[in-house]
């Protein structure tokens, strides 16, 4: 044990001194901060000028063109450098040939948008047909605005026919609501801002991301540490003092320290940032306990896999091809976190809870999303994870033992399976 600790200590100190580590620990919060800052800055900024968009309409109901024109004119007055040019394409012989003609003009670029309002649009089941041809991404927003003008025109006509007073409607619809978050009895009640709600959504993601970085982010250090010892032929010198298992355990332990350092610093930074923004983020103490359990098990699992991978490779480049399948598994919770937060007890969430490498991420996400995950599920998921950890450590120790002394050609899968069968 003494030796494992000594190995761990060196691993921790030497890793903490590397540039990759220092840049990594600083860059992630800086990048996240920058993204938030720029998103805010961009959403507040004014839209720039845009070339006029040609809109043609064939109104088969023959009643709406004037209304639509009015709304277009209003818009154009307000936005002199972002014009919509509306023209009407009248029916010449029959509706079908006119529509075909309109589509042709759309294709040859005379129109940007061609809209057909069906005859029974107002009172019947008719549709608005909104044609575009190879739309530019920059115009998507404008198309949305145009769609709304047409919709609104139909809607307004319907109110008129049904004799509904729009002012009355607006008054009826307006139900004021104030979101208040109460603290302890003596505290002042705080008005809950939109940010607070979003922050509430982000907490589970933050915890999941933290676990992910804690498990996988240290992986790069693990791989480069093993590759360095292999390439500079230090491994066997180390094995003169420690057993392969002690060496592996020391590495895992030392880098666990690195992972915990990163998580502690990021948590502190996130907490401070939330406080600074006036957001109140409450995290239950039981969540912290589960977080630690899941992190430790998940971390050991992933780093044992990585020691196995690192030991059979000679260069960082070689490790990357083996890392791919491992990383792919983690994509699922990272991409689907929003869905998982909203239905923490859905099938996807439940299934992923028992897939060992992602168990920690998914379970922490579900628990921090905070609606009744069964205790049995927690217990079983921890059990499954623990069993997986034991199996992986057993296999990794065998691969590590043989792999670290192999130089040159990377062993194939069958050769590795043979190592596993050896005593």
* Binding of another protein by 417 (CB under 8 A): no
For another protein, the closer CB: 258 or 302 = 258
- Does position 410 interact with another protein (CB under 8 A)? The reply is no
Coil, helix or strand at residue 174: coil
Q: How many angstroms separate the CA atoms of 156 and 343, rounded?
A: 38
Residues 132/112, Cβ–Cβ less than 8 Å? yes
Q: Tokens for 269?
A: 């930074």
Binding window for another protein (CB under 8 A); candidates: 1-9, 78-86, 116-124, 276-284: 1-9
The piece of 7-15, 25-33, 94-102, 368-376 that touches another protein (CB under 8 A) is 7-15
Give the angle 204-206-208 at the CA atoms, nearest 5°.
70
Under the criterion CB under 8 A, does residue 201 sit at the interface with another protein? no
Told to check if 22 binds another protein by CB under 8 A, we report no
**Nearer of residues 302 and 404 to another protein, judged by Cβ:** 404
Q: Decide: 89 and 98 in contact? Cβ < 8 Å.
A: yes
- Shortest spacing between CB 15 and another protein, in angstroms: 11
Q: Does 406 bind another protein (CB under 8 A)?
A: yes
- SS3 of residue 53 by DSSP: strand
408 counts as binding another protein under rule CB under 8 A: yes
Please report how many Cα atoms fall inside a 13 Å half-sphere around the Cα of residue 38, on the Cβ side: 6
Locate tokens 């693990």: which residue? 222
Site residue total, another protein (CB under 8 A): 25
Is 19 an interacting residue with respect to another protein (CB under 8 A)? no
Q: Does 232 bind another protein (CB under 8 A)?
A: yes
The reply to whether 14 sits near another protein by the rule CB under 8 A is yes
CB of 317 to another protein, least distance (A): 20
Nearer to another protein, 30 or 241 (CB): 241
Give whole-number Cα distances, 123 to 166, 288, 301, in Å.
Answer: 18, 58, 64
Verify binding: residue 233, another protein, rule CB under 8 A. Answer: yes
Percentages helix, strand, coil for the chain, rounded to the nearest 5?
A: 70, 5, 25
Indicate whether 103 belongs to the interface with another protein (CB under 8 A).
no
Kindly tell me which residue out of 92, 174, 347, 423 binds another protein, with binding defined by CB under 8 A. 423
Who contacts 10 (Cβ-Cβ below 8 Å, separation ≥6)? 254
Structure tokens at 363: 């379970």
Q: Does 241 bind another protein (CB under 8 A)?
A: yes
Binding another protein (rule: CB under 8 A), the pick from 242, 287, 316, 384 is 242
Q: Phi-psi category of 87—alpha, beta or left, where left has phi over 0 and alpha has psi -120 to 50?
A: beta
Smaller CB separation from another protein, 244 or 259: 244
10 binds another protein, rule: CB under 8 A: yes
Among positions 23, 405, 417, 420, the unique one binding another protein when judged by CB under 8 A: 405
Tell me the three state secondary structure of residue 84.
strand
Neighbouring residues of 195: CB distance < 8 A, sequence distance ≥ 6: 277, 278, 279
Binding stretches for another protein (CB under 8 A): 2-3, 6-7, 10, 14, 228, 232-244, 405-408, 423
């Amino acid at each position: 044990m003494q030796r494992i600790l000594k190995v761990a200590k060196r691993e921790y100190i030497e890793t903490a001194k590397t540039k990759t580590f220092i840049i990594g620990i600083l860059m992630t919060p800086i990048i996240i901060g920058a993204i938030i800052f720029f998103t805010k800055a961009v959403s507040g900024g004014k839209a720039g000028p845009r070339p006029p968009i040609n809109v043609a309409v064939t109104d088969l109901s023959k009643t709406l063109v004037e209304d639509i024109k009015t709304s277009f004119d209003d818009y154009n007055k307000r936005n002199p450098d972002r014009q919509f040019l509306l023209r009407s394409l009248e029916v010449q012989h029959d509706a079908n040939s006119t529509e075909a003609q309109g589509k042709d003009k759309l294709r040859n670029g005379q129109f940007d948008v061609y809209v057909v309002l069906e005859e029974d649009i107002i009172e019947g089941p008719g549709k608005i047909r909104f044609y575009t041809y190879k739309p530019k991404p920059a115009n998507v927003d404008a198309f949305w605005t145009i769609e709304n003008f047409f919709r609104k025109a139909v809607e307004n006509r319907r109110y008129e026919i049904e004799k509904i007073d729009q002012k009355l409607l607006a008054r009826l619809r307006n139900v004021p609501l104030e979101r208040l978050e109460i603290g302890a009895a003596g505290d002042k009640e705080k008005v809950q801002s939109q940010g607070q709600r979003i922050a509430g959504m982000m907490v589970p993601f933050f915890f999941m991301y933290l676990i992910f970085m804690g498990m996988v982010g240290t992986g790069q250090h693990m791989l480069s540490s093993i590759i360095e010892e292999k390439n500079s032929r230090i491994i066997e010198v180390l094995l003169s003092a420690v057993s392969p298992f002690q060496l592996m355990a020391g590495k895992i332990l030392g880098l666990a320290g690195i992972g915990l350092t990163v998580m502690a610093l990021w948590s502190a930074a996130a907490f401070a940032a939330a406080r600074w923004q006036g957001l109140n983020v409450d995290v239950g103490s039981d969540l912290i306990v589960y977080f630690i359990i899941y992190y430790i098990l998940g971390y050991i699992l992933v780093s044992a896999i990585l020691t196995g991978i690192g030991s059979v490779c000679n260069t960082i480049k070689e490790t990357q091809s083996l890392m791919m399948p491992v990383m792919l598994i983690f994509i699922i919770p990272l991409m689907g976190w929003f869905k998982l937060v909203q239905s923490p007890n859905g099938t996807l969430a439940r299934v992923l809870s028992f897939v060992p490498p992602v168990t920690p991420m998914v379970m922490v996400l579900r628990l921090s999303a905070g609606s009744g995950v069964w205790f049995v599920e927690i217990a079983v998921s921890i059990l499954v994870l623990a069993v997986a950890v034991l199996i992986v450590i057993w296999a990794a120790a065998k691969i590590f033992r043989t792999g670290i002394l192999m130089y040159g050609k990377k062993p194939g899968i069958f050769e590795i399976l043979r190592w596993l069968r050896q005593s």
